[in-house]
């Protein structure tokens, strides 16, 4: 039970039409989500498996994406460790992680019990998903989760995180173990792969990224060979270049600052996911179609063998208020152009 296009991409098999999925495809821009949100709180939508499955299935039914994504949130592992979490409307933790707080976190065996709702959500989503569609899970990257833990929320400067690298290394040892247990729950529930979304990693220098982030990513990938994808926003080749050739990593996602054709031509051992600029989905229809054609042109010039492993998507997540018709237009136009 999976999308043939997505399986071909995972196995690096040549094909003309790529699988398509978007980060945040089940989100605030979508009327299906908005209707559910009128009746339910965000935490309820995430933690009630029936509701989480309904949210995840909506965009697949509406836009014909090849892949559904677990509907949840990056920060639940922090809550599982005992950090109070609310959304008002954005995420806020009840206290900041400190060296003194670290020993007071819940033990891993207890913390993982607080994440089992994700396995149930994956199971229900898989049961209701059409057999020709794929399903993936996700967790937050250790660095991104750390930035929230020490700041109790998202702060653009990341001063608290960047001045406590030693605390990150201590926390990462705990967090990586919990994330591995979290990933296993999602795989056991029926996810084909699990993406590690490390959206704050691009705020690090390449040197700090490689010494702080890469070891944990590799440890996770080595435990789940071929089942882990990694996405980091605003990183460059100097950051993630070594990950393209890490054989146990299923693939790497890139944002719109990269040239997709150049990445597909480069040496790599897994899929490449991305990377149309999500802001361009706000263009008028004719302008959007022209941008899609221009973006696709260098990719379509590649042979099917060279672009094997391409998973088509955005540079980041779908933005709030994105016109639904343009999401549909993107999916249809990519398929039309790649079929020619």
Q: Cα dihedral sign for 320, 325, 329, 332?
A: positive
Q: What is the pTM of this model?
A: 0.96
Residue 88 scores a pLDDT above 90: no
Q: Which pLDDT score, from 0 to 100, does residue 296 have?
A: 98
Q: Could you report the per-residue pLDDT of 12-62, keeping only the tens digit for each? A: 999 999 999 999 999 999 999 999 999 999 999 999 999 999 999 999 999
Instruction: Give the pLDDT score at 4.
Output: 98
Return the closest-CA partner of residue 273 out of 293, 249, 294. Answer: 249
Distance, in Å, from the CA atom of 16 to the CA atom of 309, rounded to the nearest integer, reads 11
pLDDT value of residue 152: 66
CA 142 – CA 197 distance, rounded (Å) = 9
Q: What are the phi and psi torsion angles at 196 (to 5°)? A: -100, 110
> Could you tell me if residue 242 is left (phi over 0), alpha (psi between -120 and 50 degrees) or otherwise beta?
alpha
Mean pLDDT in residue range 303-315: 97
Q: Which two tokens stand for residue 137?
A: 């899970």
Q: How far is Cα 175 from Cα 188, in angstroms, rounded to an integer?
A: 20
Instruction: Say which CATH class 4-339 falls into.
Output: alpha beta
pLDDT tens string 89-127 = 889 999 899 999 999 999 999 999 999 999 999 999 999
Between CA 48 and CA 169 the distance in angstroms is 33
Percent of the chain with pLDDT over 90: 96
Tens digit of pLDDT for each residue in 238-294?
999 999 999 999 999 999 999 999 999 999 999 999 999 999 999 999 999 999 999
Give me the pLDDT at residue 155, please: 65
Give the confidence band of 154 by pLDDT, cuts at 50, 70, 90: low
Measured CA to CA in angstroms, residue 197 lies from 8, 31, 74, 200, 304 at distances of 22, 25, 8, 9, 28
pLDDT for 90: 85
Q: Is the pLDDT of residue 186 over 70?
A: yes
Q: Tell me whether strands 228-232 and 193-198 are parallel, antiparallel or unpaired.
A: parallel
- Rounded to the nearest integer, the mean pLDDT of the chain is 96
pLDDT tens digit string along 204-219?
999 999 999 999 999 9
């Amino acid at each position: 039970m999976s999308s043939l296009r997505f399986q071909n991409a995972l196995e690096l098999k040549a094909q003309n039409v790529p699988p398509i999925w978007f980060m945040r495809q089940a989100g605030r821009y979508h009327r299906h989500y908005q209707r559910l949100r009128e009746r339910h709180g965000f935490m309820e939508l995430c933690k009630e498996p029936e509701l989480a499955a309904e949210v995840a299935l909506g965009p697949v039914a509406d836009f014909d994406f090849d892949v559904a994504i677990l509907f949840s949130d990056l920060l639940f592992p922090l809550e599982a460790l005992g950090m109070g979490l609310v959304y008002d409307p954005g995420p806020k933790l009840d206290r900041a992680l400190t060296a003194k707080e670290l020993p007071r976190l819940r033990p891993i065996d207890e913390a993982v019990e607080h994440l089992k709702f994700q396995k149930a959500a994956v199971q229900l989503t898989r049961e209701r998903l059409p057999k020709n569609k794929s399903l993936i899970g996700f967790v937050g990257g250790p660095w991104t989760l750390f930035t929230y833990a020490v700041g109790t929320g998202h702060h653009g400067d990341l001063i608290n995180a960047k001045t406590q690298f030693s605390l990150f290394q201590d926390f990462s040892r705990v967090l990586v173990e919990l994330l591995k247990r979290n990933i296993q729950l999602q795989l056991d529930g029926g996810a084909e792969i699990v993406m590690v979304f490390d959206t704050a990693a691009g705020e690090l220098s390449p040197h700090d990224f490689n010494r702080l982030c890469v070891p944990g990513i590799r440890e996770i990938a080595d435990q789940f060979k071929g089942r882990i994808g990694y996405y980091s926003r605003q990183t460059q080749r100097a950051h993630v270049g070594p990950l393209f050739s890490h054989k146990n990593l299923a693939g790497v996602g890139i944002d719109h600052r990269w040239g997709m054709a150049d990445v597909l031509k480069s040496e790599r051992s897994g899929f490449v996911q991305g990377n149309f600029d999500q802001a361009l989905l706000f263009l008028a229809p004719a302008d959007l179609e022209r941008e899609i054609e221009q973006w696709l042109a260098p990719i379509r010039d590649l042979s099917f063998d060279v672009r094997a492993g391409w998973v088509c998507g955005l540079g980041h997540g779908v933005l709030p208020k994105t016109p639904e018709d343009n999401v549909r237009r993107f999916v249809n136009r990519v398929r039309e152009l790649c079929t020619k």
